[in-house]
Structure 1
Amino acid sequence: MTQILAYAAGIIILIVGIAVSVALHELGHMIPAKRFGVKVPEYFIGFGPRIWSFKRGETEYGVKAVWLGGYVKLVGMLPPARPDRPDKRDKNGELGMVGQARAEALAEIEPGEEHRAFYRLSVPKKLVVMAGGILTNLVLGIVLIAVALGVVGVYKPTSTVAVVAPCVSSQSDGQCADSDPVSPAAQAGLRPGDTIVSWDGAPVSDWEDVQAAIASAGTDSATVLIEREGRRQTLTVTAVEVERPVRDDTGRPVTDASGKPVTAPRPFAGLSPVWDTQRLAPAELPAVVGQSVWGTLKAIATLPVGLYKAVAAGLGYQERDAEGVVSLVGIGRVAGEVSSSGAGEGTIPLSMRVSSMLTLLGALNLALFAFNLVPLLPLDGGHVAGACWEALRRALARAAGRPDPGPVDTARMLPLTQVVVGLLIVMALILVWVDLVAPI
């Protein structure tokens, strides 16, 4: 029962986290828009029917039923048609899709408030408004990951010994047979609770250091400095060479063409570490956070490849990539597992689950940041690209002595916008299917 409640709590935390992230994203648009004088009649979290709202000044704030995003309504997003390029009409004289959308947008501008339309902003102000949401997600993602790693900490193996293997086992289940030799660590007198200070002269601070030192010393005798019950003493450990599975960067066993695990000889001492929550040093955080941002940008840049791999996994042609793209269903599953792992058992501390949840929400914000950089409407990157093109077009016109061409006509991009929306919906449905049949 505890596991089920913890799983549900993880999903609820994720939903609330997404709602807060969306709310802050939209504030990133609304606050500068209001500062620049743009009229903002609506600010909502979610889509569909209103659940709750209130009005303050000229803006209605509220929550709608479907929490899959949010929006802030800026008056005058679409500029009037140029006199030399009127909107097309059908044979009955009715405006087409572009013309109707433009007419509806312009109808929202009250008489005397024409100067408050978004399209009248200068290019730098448009960039600030449209990039505000993107940068908000970037900052929020960085802060969440930094807090998770630098304040709460990371659950990782330490240089303290948890278990000393009694033998060098020849059994597949790791049990000791009478003929198995005593393990090097047991023979040297190492005990659970000993903290390794140095191995063969190399100072160690975590388990990665210990593993590297054992590998470096090989099967030669190594002097090991330990701390036991507050006192330091020196032991001598001579590792032995054993065959062990080869693992990839994600920790999964590497297999050959026939599917059998690949093994390789390596030094074996017979130790396993105590796991504990450890904070990253402030000096380490920029590199780790930068790696997260870069990895997210790379994932978005290679999104078609990631989608192809996800579909292949869903069809059973390959394993699901643990670092691949996921839907909200997949993210919800991860959140539930993160929250419920070890709940009520004490095997995974609460700090680890808090850190993992903060990291997940941080990664989600970085994904929103990177995805919104795509220069296509209706994404924020499409509006940023339009403002940049407007600036370039005006600069070229000034250089050539031509009249100001005016704002970019984003209304004419509506047909392409509909295609993009359709593709996003199809992609979302495909990823939901993959997350159901081949979950990470």
Structure 2
Amino acid sequence: MMTVLGIAIFFIGILFSIAWHELGHFATAKWFGIKVPEFMVGFGKTLWSRRIGETEFGVKAIPLGGYIRMIGMIPPAKGETLGRSRRTGPFQGLIDDARQASAMDVLPQDAHRQFYLRAPWKRIIVMFAGPAMNLILAVVLFAIVLMGFGTLTPTTTVSAVSACVVPATATTEVCPPGAPPTPAAAAGFQAGDRIVSFAGQPYDDWSELQQAIRGSSGTVAVTVERDGRLIELTPTLVSTDLRNLEDPEQIVQGGFLGLSPVQQVQRQDIAAVGEEIGTVVGNVGQALVRLPERVPHIFGAVFLGEDRAQDSPVGIVGASRIGGEILAMDAPPGQEIAAMLTLLALVNVSLFLFNLLPIPPLDGGQIFPAVWEAVKRRIAKLRGKPDPGPVDVAKLMPVAYTVALIFVAWSALLFIADVINPVRLT
């Protein structure tokens, strides 16, 4: 029951994120006087709608995105009338159809309210406002999680002492025969010890202490607080294979003590929110760049019975399913809520970056032509030439349809994978 409830709640969160994205487009379009006949969440058949003023708001059957329909998205071709017959050619007919469909939305009294008539900078704002709303929502969610709930943070208190030295490349944590004891075990460290200083330097941050341990060798003096008393221990550090703290896939050499820290939930400050956003945006950006190379893996997970990797891309169904698993975990309610909000924030960062790709029909596919138009106008003005007019985005329609088909195929593949071979938290 909790899994189903979690799936439903997270699915609603995704729909809200989509509507929030479209609200950015809608609000800025209305601000600049552009007519918006439709505001829809989803695609396909309309399940519910209501007209408010000149805009029809609604929800459609396929929740793979959303859109607002602004009039005049495609400018008329130079020297052509809108009513001319459809031309032949591999792509020209498609371009003419898109141009005429756009023109059908424009009533005589609304001719001055078309999207393409607005200055390039206004069009850029309208198209950027959608992704920006997702970024804003992600920042708010991360702030709630980090500053409100807090995160599990390693402390300088010892949770456990490793029994023996096992390299990071080992396939098991069980002590093999003849493995030497860890420096911490040999020096007498105990669970519950709070490390006060290391090599004469005081520490209250685990990450800084960890760096100091890795950069040290030989015998060092360590002061710990145990049962209210300060005790000095003198472990002799060894050098061994360790996982890189920034890239766990890399193996490096470093000083090893053999301690695990106690994790405590600690509230963070606003600086931590900014740092987290920067890290997440970078990681999600790298994941988007790597999407094409993930296609064979997803195909194998669907049709060849291959295992689904934990870092595999997921669609709306997969993300909602993970949300259900989070709510079904045997964890404090605060941690479950924080995990759900973090996952939703990651979805919004993905929407932010994905929609900025400079290809139609994504938002970036309208931003790039507007930028190019502004550049052309500036160059023409400097050279004393007449205004070259708007960029003919209709010529990009074949690209838009191709990208849309690829997106539908990718979404269908993810949907099947998320149903028959899902990514699981446990």
Q: What is the TM-score when the length of structure 1 is the normalising length?
A: 0.79
Structure 1 stretches lacking a partner, 5+ long: 255-261
Give the corresponding residue for 1:257: none
Q: Show the 5 A alignment for 1:4-403.
A: 5-83=1-79, 89-90=86-87, 96-164=93-161, 168=164, 174=174, 190-216=189-215, 218=217, 220=219, 222-226=221-225, 228=227, 231-239=228-236, 241=238, 246-247=242-243, 267-269=256-258, 271-307=259-295, 322-323=310-311, 325-341=313-329, 343=330, 346=331, 349-403=332-386
- In the alignment, the residues of structure 2 paired with residue 396 and residue 252 of structure 1 have an alpha-carbon distance, to the nearest angstrom, of 49
Distance of 2:186 and 2:37 partners within structure 1: 76
Query: Structure 2 CA distance, aligned partners of 1:264 and 1:388?
Result: 49
Query: Separation in 1 of the partners of 2:290 and 2:334?
Result: 33
Aligned length: 414
Read off the aligned partner of 2:117 and give its amino acid letter.
R
Q: Deviations over 1:42-100 (max 9, x none)?
A: 11212223333222211122222222211111122122232259766358xxx933323
In structure 2, distance between residues paired with 1:305 and 1:150: 36
Q: 1-side partners of 2:260 and 2:61: how far apart?
A: 50
Match of 1:259 in 2: none
Q: Secondary structure at the match of 1:283?
A: helix
Q: What amino acid is aligned across from residue 401 of structure 2 in structure 1?
A: Q
Q: Using the alignment, how far apart are the partners of 1:204 and 1:377 within structure 2?
A: 52
Letter of the 1:29 counterpart: H
Instruction: Kindly provide the CA deviation profile for residues 222-258 of structure 1, in whole angstroms up to 9, marking residues without a partner as x.
Output: 2323153xx3422324257597x7446589788xxxx
> In structure 2, what is the Cα distance between the partners aligned to 1:294 and 1:176?
39
Q: Structure 2: how far apart are the matches of 1:180 and 1:294?
A: 40
Closer/same/farther in 2, CA of residues 356 and 43 from structure 1, 3 Å limit: same
Mean Cα displacement is larger for which, 53-62 or 400-409?
Answer: 400-409
Of 401, 407, 423 in structure 1, the residue corresponding to residue 390 of structure 2 is 407
Structure 1 counterpart of 2:137, one-letter code: L
Mapped contact 2:87–2:96 kept (Cα < 8 A): no
The CA distance in 2 between the partners of 1:14 and 1:373, in whole Å, is 24
The Cα offsets for residues 293-330 of structure 1, whole Å up to 9 and x where unpaired, read as: 22323333444344456557778899866555443344
- Aligned position for 2:409: 426
Q: Secondary structure at the match of 1:112?
A: helix
Give the SS at the match of 2:108. coil
- Larger mean Cα displacement after TM superposition, 416-425 or 351-360: 351-360
Preserved CA contact (<8 Å) 1:148 1:154: yes
Kept in 2, the 8 Å contact 1:198–1:225? The answer is: yes
Distance 2:115 2:210 in 1: 59
Work out the CA distance in 1 between the residues paired with 2:245 and 2:414. Answer: 25
- Could you say what the CA RMSD is over the residues aligned between the two structures, in angstroms? 3.8
Deviation at 1:384, TM superposition (A): 0.6
Structure 2 vs 1, CA of residues 374 and 251 (structure 1 numbering), >3 Å: closer, same or farther? closer
- 1:6 & 1:206 partners in 2: Cα distance? 37
Q: Is the 8 A contact 2:156 2:261 kept in 1?
A: yes
Alpha-carbon shift at residue 111 of structure 1 (Å): 2.3
- Sequence identity of aligned pairs in percent? 35
Deviation at 1:119, TM superposition (A): 1.7
Gaps of 5+ in 2: 167-171
Q: For the residues of structure 2 that align with 1:239 and 1:350, how far apart are their CA atoms? A: 43
CA contact (8 A) 2:142 2:342 kept: yes
Q: Secondary structure at the match of 2:391?
A: coil
